[in-house]
Amino acid sequence: MALKSYKPTTPGQRGLVLIDRSELWKGRPVKSLVEGLTKNGGRNNSGRITMRRKGGGAKRLYRIVDFKRNKLDMPAVVERIEYDPNRTAFIALVKYEDGTLNYILAPQRLGIGDSVVASAKADVKPGNAMPFSGMPIGTIIHNIELKQGKGGQIARAAGTYGQFVGRDGGYAQVRLSSGELRLIRQECMATVGAVSNPDNSNQNLGKAGRNRHKGIRPSVRGVVMNPVDHPHGGGEGRTSGGRNPVTPWGKPTKGARTRNKNKPSSKYILRSRHAKKKGR
């Protein structure tokens, strides 16, 4: 999809750059594949804000996306590509030979009428899913499982992908777009191709209201608060905080390492995503 820029006929259109979604399906989603979505404004079950800067936004229906791709050896035809308000990527409606409809993440270069299949060993073409055991080395992949049968968890956002770079015993070596190299069991599934909508990061929303429609509230800098509200607050005149950057609760931020070195999943990370920075 291309980017679409606007002439500044109004203040909100000055600098506005959006994704051109003219080729997407313009109707409503399949009713049997959606369910209601309740907003919580970033609050947990006791009503306390656990995620700041959330609230409001347009009402949404949640599209049930098949991340597991466990309908094996049954080809499906792409009926249409749709917009999904709950994610940055586009989704594809596929119809299996037995008449079942499902939504899957739409990869780049997948078009209407294309055939996709999930199998133990499938052709290397966008939208096909298979375990690492049946995949050739060097394949570009997305929607990567971490646990067999759980469904894809890695590389699901717009434009993201990983690369299958090698085998190591019963594990596959996967290089992620962050630069991290990690081990994943070879029985886990992954889908061929990179996720659709790679231009998502190049949008310019043009005005604060567009972010509010997405359910994102303003973020207030700590240095403009009072000392009671933030460790960076207070001081005479304009100050830069006068200390190392921290969260409102005193935890280091802006690049400081906060990962627990004893985390069990650390043994599956062969190369950290930070390794490329300043020779760390």
pLDDT in tens, 87-138: 999 999 999 999 999 999 999 999 999 999 999 999 999 999 999 999 999 9
Q: What is the mean pLDDT of the chain?
A: 94
Q: Is the pLDDT of residue 279 over 60?
A: no
Q: How far apart are the C-alpha atoms of 231 and 249, rounded to whole Å? A: 8
Alpha-carbon dihedral 269, 274, 276, 280, rounded to 10 degrees: -100
Question: From residue 189, how far is each of 19, 52, 67, 167 by CA, in Å?
Answer: 30, 34, 10, 15
269 and 164 in a common domain: no
Q: What is the pLDDT of residue 11?
A: 96
* Helices H / strands E in the chain, number of each: 1, 17
CA 22, 27, 28, 31 torsion-angle sign: negative
Question: pLDDT at residue 148 above 70?
Answer: yes
- The percent of residues above 90 in pLDDT, for the chain, comes to 90
- Rounded Cα distance between 209 and 185, Å, is 44
pLDDT at site 242: 83
pLDDT at 275: 83
> Of the candidates 170, 200, 230, which is a domain's last residue?
200
Amino acid 277: pLDDT: 64
Average pLDDT score over residue span 12-23: 95
Give the model's confidence band at 139: pLDDT under 50 very low, under 70 low, under 90 confident, else very high.
very high
* CATH number, position 145: 2.40.50.140
Are residues 154 and 230 both part of a single domain?
Answer: no
Specify if 122 maps to a domain: yes
- Asked whether the predicted pLDDT for residue 3 surpasses 60, the reply is yes
pTM of the model: 0.91
Q: Identify the DSSP state of 211.
A: H
Neighbours of 188 (CB within 10 A): 22
Residue 136 CB neighbours (<10 A): 8
* Per-residue model confidence (pLDDT) at position 195: 97
Q: Is the pLDDT of residue 49 over 80?
A: yes
pLDDT band at 278 (very low <50, low <70, confident <90, very high): low
Residues 142 and 267 in one domain: no
Q: How many domains does the chain have?
A: 2
Q: Are residues 161 and 271 in the same domain?
A: no
- Name the pLDDT band for 259 (thresholds 50, 70, 90): confident
User: 245 and 189: one domain?
Assistant: no
Domain limit, last residue, from 165, 200, 235: 200
Q: According to the model, what pLDDT value does residue 176 have?
A: 96
Token pair 């078009």 in the structure block, residue? 111
pLDDT score of 243: 85
pLDDT band at 1 (very low <50, low <70, confident <90, very high): low
Phi first, then psi, for residue 19 (nearest 5°) are -75, 135
Q: Angle at CA 235, nearest 5°, toward 230 and 237?
A: 125
What distance in Å separates the CA atoms of residue 41 and residue 212, rounded to the nearest whole number? Answer: 12
* Dist. CA 204–CA 117, nearest whole Å: 36
Q: Are 154 and 176 in contact (CB under 8 A)?
A: yes
Q: What is the pLDDT of residue 189?
A: 97
Tokens standing for 120? Answer: 């133990």
Q: 228 is in which domain, residue-wise?
A: 222-280
- Flag whether pLDDT at 280 surpasses 80: no
What pLDDT, on the 0 to 100 scale, is given for residue 238? 86
217 part of a folded domain: no
What is the distance between the alpha carbons of residues 62 and 60, in angstroms, rounded to a whole number?
6
Q: How far apart are the first and last CA of the chain?
A: 37
Single-letter amino acid, residue 188 = C
Tokens of 191: 């889908």
In this prediction, residues 185-200 reach a mean pLDDT of: 96
Q: What region, left, alpha or beta, does residue 54 occupy, with left being phi > 0 and alpha being psi -120 to 50 degrees?
A: beta
Coil, strand or helix: which one is 72? strand
Residues 6+ apart with CB under 8 A from 131: 120, 186, 187, 188, 189, 190
Q: Are residues 127 and 262 in the same domain?
A: no
Is position 212 within any domain?
no
At 258, the pLDDT band (50, 70, 90 cuts) reads confident
